[in-house]
Chain A
Amino acid sequence: MNGTSQPIGAARRSTEFQLVFMAAMITATAYTLASLGKNSVIPPRILPFLAVLLLVLMSAHIGVRWLAQGADSTVLPVAVLLNGLGYVMIARLSERLAGLQTTWTFIGVACFIAVLFLVQRVNDLARYTWTFFFLGAGLLLLPMVPRIGFSSGGARIWVSVGPINFQPGEFAKLALALFFAGYLAENRELISSGTWKVGRLNLPEPRHLLPLLSAWGFSVVLMVGQKDLGSSLLFFTLFIVMVWVATEKTSFLIIGLGLFVAGTTAAYFMFDHVQTRFAIWLDPWSRYDAKGFQIAQAMYALGSGGVSGTGLGLGDPTRIPEAKNDFIFAAIGEEMGLFGATAILIAFLLLIGAGLRTAMRTHRPFEKLFAVGLTTILGTQAFIIIGGVIRVVPLTGITLPFVSYGGSSLVANYILLALLIRVSDSSARGLGEVPNTATSRERLAVRRARRTSKRHPVNQDDQS
């Protein structure tokens, strides 16, 4: 095949262009409305704002167009819309944080393009399964290292290296999803065949189970050592879902649920803060003056928003503690109402849908499992925090992907997005929707090889 126009790929990219453009326009409009609502003025630098916004989002789009032509056309637009609406809400809450979030968005998009460039074949990653295991484990344990790890807001999830503070857990989840995908793709048949007989049970060989159990151990470490219930729940779900999908054995799901119930019960009786979380979940009102205040304020905010919201800039979301962060969903529900909050839910469902469709379209087990892992992270994380804010589940502090304020979270999620897009592109190549041409790096490698061979014709002769 030659390199001329490919209908499916081009159509997808043109759809993506239009959707990204719309996301930028919605963000700019919302930004203007929020400023009008709050200060009754059109933001003075709205045109430069729009220009920069378009520049950033379009570079992400061009990155996809250049490096992943066959990828799904909705993933990037939905993610940047979430990022944009989150930004509008953060800017409305605090101008100082808005400036920082802008920087994080730049870095996030840069990392997005960089990952697309560096990882041009998904299989490149499969080679490093164990590297990612140790990387993920190291990142997870990093906050517990004395001197560099520190606590903030009750959870010891921060690391401080020089001037940079970050939450390594946000990146660890990607590394562990990679490890699970790689390990399970290779060993899933061995694990599911269950050659180890214990009484009447057929269990996988202990040596195959060990890496998985150690991964599960991390979630316990997170819960106990770092008091990070949200991440612990996320890792555990990721682990169970991936094993279940890989082995196709429902018994793993049941065992997992059993472990979860046992772990939760043990944690409930062992730790005061877990008991407090449950108590607040069941009844925030009687604890209004203490720990229930935040949830109660979120309820008031959502209630005052009602169906259509107070209007951007016209509500009072600053009354909710951590509105910029874990509770940004309540702030959106207040000012954009049930409509806006539902739009956020639908956006996440679209991402989940696109991610799982990618998983189903590809035929390589590693890609399938990797896409499932990434999607599970995104879907579960959003569910845990939204559900915590609106009292569907006990509140466990964790960020709302793409929406909440926070550098580590935003950058990690853009990397996640790039990886998902990479898998999606790979599935399109596998299905022949776009030509499976050499990647730019492969072309680069070929050109370098040619140049080398020209300089050393003798070698070439030797080879031929």
Chain B
Amino acid sequence: MNTRIRHLALAMIILYVILFVQLNVIQVGRKNTLDSDARNTRQTVRDYNDPRGDIRTKDGVVIATSIRNESGSEFAWQRIYPQGDLYSAITGYFTFAYGATQLEKTQNDILAGRTVEQQIRGIGSLFNGQNTSGSVQTTLDSRIQQAAKDALGNREGSVVVIEPSTGAIQAMWSYPSYDPNRVVIQDDERAGELLRSLDSMSGKPLLANAYQERYMPGSTFKVITAAGALDAGLINTESSWPDESEFLPPQTNDPIQNYANKVCGGDLAEVFRRSCNTPFARTAIALGPQKMVDITKGFGIGEVIPFDLPRAVSSQFGDVDYFEENLPLLGIGGFGQGNTQMVPLHMAMVAASIANKGMMMKPYVVAATYDHNGSVLRRTSPTVWKTPMSSATSALLTELMIGVVNEGTAKCCMALANGIQAAAKTGTAQLNAAGEPQNSHAWMVAFAPAQAPRYAIVVMLKGTTAEISAGTGGTLAGPIAKKILDIALRR
């Protein structure tokens, strides 16, 4: 019988080796897959029962924090957002069942105190039970953020304010928004219902349309066409265009018209401040598809914006082959209509690059991260993303944009308090085809003070109401931009 017993022993060893191999497959091989499974709530539960650090504005206003729950509660901590909906596009939310978004997601390891550096620094906490969660300081200025919300009111759209020399976001507000406090409740089912209803609402409050959506930019895009043509030497301050109400591009019988079919023409300063369309259509077609597309690429159009918040999108212009076949659309694209789509944040970055001697900085909202003692973990250092134009061209464009404010389409509304000079460009993006009812987005890009710029701003109103569609970028977005800049520049 001993032979059989030896065989039995061998069989048992094989069975247990199989168990050992399978254990390795699960605990080593598939560990990452299992940990990142959406239904696996272990990590979230751990995070939920640990303290979690604050998120602050640059002037110290707490915009996300955790408070201790009463004992007996399912979780030890409750996340709250003291400013309600004001910063939801920045902080996002941190829920048990539905994950986290925005900074709550990207800065999760810092806030939970889980980075290697924090764990080494907090090694003493093993003995004294000290809280080792980190905190995040944003670049946002609470005054400007509040001003942006107040000025936009209940019109759908976005405001972004950037510091041109660094790319630090001073304010970023989108309407409609939502209150993250309503999502982080302990009742998973109610939170889920709310998220689903927010998701299906028109205006998409869960999407921060300031950087997660793109819109037709209208005439604000002319700064890009002008910058490219100036740098290429195709046009200069001496250039002039004929007075005309429409222009017939090649490959079509359908002429391109000026806004409201007005007769428009003159030198560069005049066509820029009056925002004539045909000169820019002519310029874009004269540059040709290859050059025009290269210019837009120089501005980062077509690339996802390198933002430190998740799921930023890219602006779009079009590709060379398509425009070779459709030169009229290249002309229309030259003044920001047709298939041209810009992310509001990106448009603010374009204005900021003009204000920053032609250098476009990487936008960011995280100024610095801190450990539990308040010592800095990481501080964001500003970096140049693109250099879309020469310093000379940016100076010239600044002059052109001052002209817009003083004598052009923004004359109505952009005279800042205390006589501070702003530089601006308006945009009214016509969404309707000829003959359909008027429907347009209203845009304003600007920076101030014009000669020593501290803030660049974009205001974009979606053409969702008759009031907006009937107005222009100057009359509608202008007053909003002025209000915000006035508050930002007040000292």
Contact = CB atoms under 8 A, between A and B. Distances in A.
B26 A349 contact: no
A337 B3 contact: no
Contact of A392 (B8, B12, B22, B45): B22
Contacts of B33: 303
Interface residues of A, number: 44
B26 A303 contact: yes
B4 A248 contact: yes
A353 B40 CA distance: 38
A264 interface: no
Given A349-B16, A360-B2, A383-B16, 5 more contacts: A306-B27, A307-B28, A338-B24, A341-B23, A391-B22
A272 B35 CA distance: 32
A196 B42 CA distance: 62
Interface string B24-38: 101110110111010
A244 interface: yes
A188 to B, nearest CB: 9
A241 B23 contact: no
B16 A348 contact: yes
B491 interface: no
Interface-centre pick from B4, B35, B39 (highest chain A CB count, 10 A): B4
A407 interface: no
22 contacts: A245-B1, A245-B5, A288-B39, A296-B39, A299-B26, A299-B30, A300-B37, A302-B26, A303-B33, A303-B40, A304-B40, A319-B42, A319-B45, A333-B23, A341-B27, A345-B19, A352-B16, A359-B1, A368-B1, A369-B1, A372-B8, A390-B26
Contacts of B234: none
A304 B34 contact: yes
A289 to B, nearest CB: 9
Interface string B163-199: 0000000000000000000000000000000000000
B12 A338 contact: no
B19 A303 contact: no
Given A303-B27, A337-B27, A383-B15, A342 B20 contact: yes
B9 interface: yes
A305 interface: yes
Task: Tell me the interface secondary structure of chain A in the complex.
Answer: helix
Contacts of B19: 345, 383, 386-387, 390, 392
Interface of B: 1-6, 8-9, 12-13, 15-16, 18-20, 22-24, 26-28, 30-31, 33-35, 37, 39-43, 45-46, 129
B9 A353 contact: yes
B5 A356 contact: yes
In the A-B complex, the 3 residue pairs with the smallest Cβ-Cβ separation, listed nearest first, are A303-B34, A245-B4, A338-B27
Contacts of A241: 8
B12 A349 contact: yes
Pick the most buried of A241, A300, A333: most chain B CB atoms within 10 A of its CB.
Answer: A300
B42 A390 contact: no
Interface in A269-308: 288, 296, 299-307
B112 to A, nearest CB: 14
A245 B2 CA distance: 8
A185 to B, nearest CB: 10
Nearest to B36: A303
A62 B2 CA distance: 32
B381 to A, nearest CB: 35
A359 B5 contact: yes
A376 B3 CA distance: 16
Contacts of B9: 352-353, 356
Contact of A316 (B8, B27, B34, B42): B42
A333 B26 CA distance: 10
Nearest to A391: B22
A423 to B, nearest CB: 13
Contacts of A143: none
B28 A338 contact: yes
B274 to A, nearest CB: 63
A337 B31 CA distance: 11
